[in-house]
Amino acid sequence: MQATEASDYTLTIVPDAAAMSGMAAELVAGAVAANPGLVLAVPTGSTPLGMFEHLVAKVRAGNLDLSGITLFCLDEYVGVEPEDPNSLTGWLKRSFVDPAGIPWDRVRAVASSAADPGAAAAAYDAEIAAAGGLDLAVLGLGPNGHIAYNEPGSAADSRTRVLALTPESSAQAAAYWTAGVETPSRAITVGVGTLLESDRLVLIVSGAAKTEMLRRALEEPMDAAIPASWLRLAGDRLHVIADAAAASALTATNH
Ligand code: PGA
């Protein structure tokens, strides 16, 4: 994969997180309207919660049917089952899948408790490919520049794999974990290269805490130190939706 940008991504700067959530939800809803069998991935974390609320409201109002999509979970802690209260898959089920009326059999999750997590990760990559790849991947921006759990050091052509979490990500995860339970040191994540094969990628970013990381991701040379910077390789398949606070340090806003 060449580290050049074939064409430019789209950047939309909106006033606040609510507007970011609304716009991201419209993109997802529009994609599902055009293709009820959409192969979708959505992030975990605080950023997508507003988007989930909008989508669930549309489903409840009868304006959106997500029952035919296939949803691929992007990451999971090694050894943690979906039933575990600390599981990312379980979190996604509670936060989005169940309220949005997505049948559980339409959800794909990596077999993170498999005896051989590396083989499970490779099998998951193959499962995404067998589904025709992701039609739409909505991603959040990690405080350390990660996308899904592709931590700093992740290559542009990395596949779905096991990797060690940075201390920063472990601390971020701890906020979601049952108090007193040690957070895991390893996760399985859909790889950067796998994500870059998606037909469309949407990066949602809000808040002043992300300002500097978004600037580095979009305006510094692409580098494994900031995995999100690789997203620019997707060219015009990438749409960045940032609120004004997150976008405040960007110098080139005419995308
Ligand atoms: P956040 O996490 O949405 O909670 O900021 C983003 C991420 O780590 O991907």
For the question of residue 255 being annotated catalytic, the response is no
Tell me how far apart the alpha carbons of residues 84 and 195 are, in angstroms, rounded to a whole number: 26
Tell me how far apart the alpha carbons of residues 160 and 253 are, in angstroms, rounded to a whole number: 32
User: Stretch 30-54: mean pLDDT, rounded?
Assistant: 98
Question: pLDDT digit string (tens) for 84-119?
Answer: 989 999 999 999 999 999 999 999 999 999 999 999
| 227 in contact with ligand 1, CB cutoff 6 A | no
User: Stretch 50-57: mean pLDDT, rounded?
Assistant: 98
Residues 6+ apart with CB under 8 A from 98: none
Annotated active-site residue in 16, 26, 65, 144: 144
- H/E stretch holding 10: strand 10-14
Residues in the chain, how many? 255
Distance from the alpha carbon of residue 173 to the mean position of ligand 1, in angstroms: 10
- The stretches of 191-248 forming alpha helices (DSSP H) are 192-196, 211-219
Pocket test for ligand 1, best of 44, 192, 204 (most atoms within 8 A of CB): 44
- H/E stretch holding 139: strand 136-140
For the question of residue 151 being annotated catalytic, the response is yes
Reported pTM: 0.95
